[in-house]
Structure 1
Amino acid sequence: MSITGGDVVDLGRGLYAWLPPKRGWGLANCGLLVSSRSALWIDTPYDAVLAGQFLAESTKRLPDGVGIDRVIVTHANGDHFWGAGVLPDAEIIATREAREHIHYEPTPKQQHALVAAGDPATPLGGYLARHFGPFDWSQTEPVMPTTYFTGELELTLGDYPVRISALPSAHTTGDLMVHLPAQDAVFTGDIIFSSTPQQPGDHPVHWAGPLSNLISACEQVLATGAETVVPGHGPLLDRAGVRDHIVYLEYVRERAHAFHTAGIPAVEAARRVIGEGRYPELGLPERLVVTIGSEYRRLDGSELPGVLQVMTEVAVVAEELERPHEPARPAEQ
């Protein structure tokens, strides 16, 4: 089984957004910026099949003789990064801090083996098979950025300025956002997982935090003045949509801090936030296990555990939510 398709949205002045055909783990939005002399990608799809589809759609929009010379990686999660292998000669740009997260994640082939060898009878094995089984990294070699930067980096593509800003630890330890002033647009990476009434999205998943940094990053997005916001996952947003997302983040932060103060363990706190039912339209509520766990670690000063431990906790909560006779527990007042 594979995931195919994807919508290409023309945002004007040589800018396009590639939006996956559905929501879920690993289905990231990507960008293409084209000038008369060169082109670049902002993020890449998760595996070679999807990246090949994005490359084919990109090629249709390139002038004769123009290739994709650069890839800007908003952060080092594989679903935004590993597809860069289909452009072996392109410059790959990331923040210097992104290297830390690259070493935290498994390689593509390690992840493929983990998913393929998992026992579907266990919570983790079943969860990985359902959500990651459609991807194929069996032949994917690790990719590494070729250009690292700190702070701000400004490029030009033809007549278009491209303003790249490194962000403090938030979704990961190496996030950046891309402001395209001529197109009045910002690509946020996974600082924002979006949802609208017409196109409900999923709960965000944040590996680093703190949530205060995510809120500040969203405010930085608004400070650009851009009217079009392309999030890491989910539908395109306007400025009001970003403000709505800030309200969501503030809610999760408030509840996490309240449960932490009360001495409630992080996974139980996630169960209770899910049980409050504030955002029933959002999918994958079990991902609050990751986000609230990250916030707890910031409050405690503790270290990030291994990704398999975290994903096992996610899978257990997801299994609980799928049992109709065992609903998520409501919060205690």
Structure 2
Amino acid sequence: MTTSRANVSAIAEDLYVWLPPKRGWGLANCGLLASPRAALWIDTPYDPSLAAEFLAESRKRLPEGVEVDRVVVTHANGDHLWGAGVLPDAEVIATHEALEHIHYEPAPKQQHALVAGGDPESPLGGYLQRHFGQFDWSQTEPVHPHTVFRGELELRVGDYPVQITGLPAAHTGGDLMVHLPYQRAVFTGDVVFGSTPEQPGDHPSHWSGPLENIIGACEQALATGAEIFVPGHGPVLDRSGVQAHIAYLEHVRERAHALHAEGTPALDAARRIIAEQRYPELGLPERLVLTVSAEYRHLDGSAVPNVLEAMTQVALVAREIEASAGQPGGTPGPRSAQDAPAPA
């Protein structure tokens, strides 16, 4: 059962953000926009326990008689979608393209069985239990969006405008960003993974790409003129924080393209980029396996692996990093997300 306590903070007028207390797989940021007549969630926590906690915290901040009646989902990864089950009467809004990604991932109960029933001695089984064992989807039913759209969609939450923009395939095939003009804030979903010197984050894990689209989405977020950027994971950023993330993405793209041109296979390219330790403060470097593999697919047209194949490669590289760090003379890997301090 999930035991972590998240922090809910006001970041603008009637706008709140839920920030998990540590970094790591599945610990996504969520938003609450409240008004005297209506309320909106932007993304949801991963499992029912965390989602119920966010709902209780949301209700403390809502006027009497107001409930959260809509949920905008920035993309269809379970850590942003599956918590919507605690709001059975709310309208769930996503892009039309997100429907395909829902079928790419295991359903919640399937994922629970994979995590709970895996062999802890195998690379994949041990990795899943270490990073996902804290979540409980044993009773979680799949969440199906009620409203899907292509392009743009504008809502109002009370008097507040909400501008929703579908993005070209980036983190997944079905991302969107949410711009709140009055609050001068953007929820980027996982096209941005937040990190600051004070609160280092994790390496992103991108399933779709290409990186050019992800960089373009970051630039599109900046083009709104917003001052507050809530990434899918990690600390809230200002404009310079998003620009720093663009520089990270450009670096990964440059190295992936150079290694591809040399004929280096995707998995070995990810190993090379990890070993260079350009961003040693970031956790979960093994997730570069996913991002580099996705970029290679756009360069050479290789097939899309299923989730278990992809995560098996991630788990193998994580084990290699740990073994290297433990060997005499080995190169220490970046800190594990599990060892990272909780955000202040």
Displacement, 1:13?
Answer: 1.6
Q: Is the Cα contact below 8 Å between 1:155 and 1:162 reproduced in 2?
A: yes
What is the aligned partner in structure 1 of residue 107 from structure 2?
A: 107
What is the aligned partner in structure 1 of residue 258 from structure 2?
A: 258
Identity, % of aligned positions: 71
Does 1:225 pair with 2:225?
yes
CA distance in 2, matches of 1:103, 1:269: 29
3-state secondary structure, aligned to 2:257: helix
Cα RMSD of the aligned pairs, angstroms, is 1.0
CA distance in 1, matches of 2:281, 2:197: 9
What is the aligned partner in structure 2 of residue 158 from structure 1?
A: 158
CA distance in 2, matches of 1:251, 1:180: 30
Matches within 5 A, 1:1-333: 1-323=1-323, 324-325=326-327, 327=331
Q: Is the Cα contact below 8 Å between 1:39 and 1:157 reproduced in 2?
A: yes
Q: Which runs of 5+ in 2 are unaligned?
A: 334-344
CA distance in 2, matches of 1:257, 1:110: 36
Displacement, 1:328?
Answer: 8.1
CA distance in 2, matches of 1:30, 1:310: 26
Cα deviations across residues 303-322 of structure 1 (Å, max 9, x unaligned)? 21110000000000000000
Q: Is the Cα contact below 8 Å between 1:33 and 1:41 reproduced in 2?
A: yes
Counterpart residue type for residue 125 of structure 1: G
Cα deviations across residues 159-191 of structure 1 (Å, max 9, x unaligned)? 100000000000000000000000010000000
Over 6 Å off, 4+ runs: none
What is the aligned partner in structure 1 of residue 340 from structure 2?
A: none
Counterpart residue type for residue 212 of structure 1: E
CA distance in 2, matches of 1:231, 1:213: 16
CA distance in 1, matches of 2:73, 2:314: 26
CA distance in 2, matches of 1:92, 1:32: 14
Q: Is the Cα contact below 8 Å between 1:20 and 1:27 reproduced in 2?
A: yes
3-state secondary structure, aligned to 1:182: coil
Q: Is the Cα contact below 8 Å between 1:271 and 1:328 reproduced in 2?
A: no
Q: Which runs of 5+ in 1 are unaligned?
A: none
Q: Is the Cα contact below 8 Å between 1:203 and 1:285 reproduced in 2?
A: yes
CA distance in 2, matches of 1:124, 1:198: 32
CA distance in 2, matches of 1:120, 1:181: 47
Q: TM-score when scaled to structure 1?
A: 0.97
Q: TM-score when scaled to structure 2?
A: 0.94
CA distance in 1, matches of 2:148, 2:154: 13
Give the number of aligned pairs: 329
3-state secondary structure, aligned to 2:182: helix
Q: Is the Cα contact below 8 Å between 1:320 and 1:328 reproduced in 2?
A: no
Displacement, 1:327?
Answer: 4.1
Displacement, 1:89?
Answer: 0.5
CA distance in 1, matches of 2:216, 2:9: 28
